[in-house]
Amino acid sequence: MRILHTMLRVGNLEKSLDFYTQVLGMELLRRQEYPEGKFTIAFVGYQNEADGTVLELTYNWDTSSYDLGNAYGHIAIEVEDAYQACENIKKLGGKVVREAGPMKHGKTIIAFIEDPDGYKIEFIQKKTG
């Protein structure tokens, strides 16, 4: 068994695709419209679906926003340098909500950003040595 994907409901598919592909550097892997169901799904990721876990962005044509609730946590992405990753996100118009630095009660360097719908994304700096 393996995890295939995580699905996020998004209020504006084009804005979300721009964020995940242009700001985070993921690739649009596939996209499918379902006119009878009035929704579109798009899969994005850093590798193809056969090789790794990806994100499914689901856009329901009649819904422009969602209540994220208080149970959802975040998506985690490993980065070489969390400080530089935050600077790159800001230059590309992304929102950094917790600057890079050591995690509370630990030494791992982390940062948090938000996507256009408010979903949190954690950057975890790759450990060396």
Is 122 noted as a catalytic residue in this protein?
yes
In angstroms, the CA 28 to CA 80 distance is: 22
CB 74 within 8 A of CB 50: no
Q: Which residue spans within 12-129 are E strands per DSSP?
A: 27-34, 39-45, 54-60, 75-79, 95-102, 109-114, 120-125
CB 43 within 8 A of CB 59: no
Cα 25 from chain centroid? 10
Candidate list 27, 33, 114, 122, residue with the active-site label: 122
Longest CA–CA separation in the chain, Å: 53
- Give the closest residue to 42 by CA, choosing from 50, 33, 73, 51: 33
Give the active site residues: 122
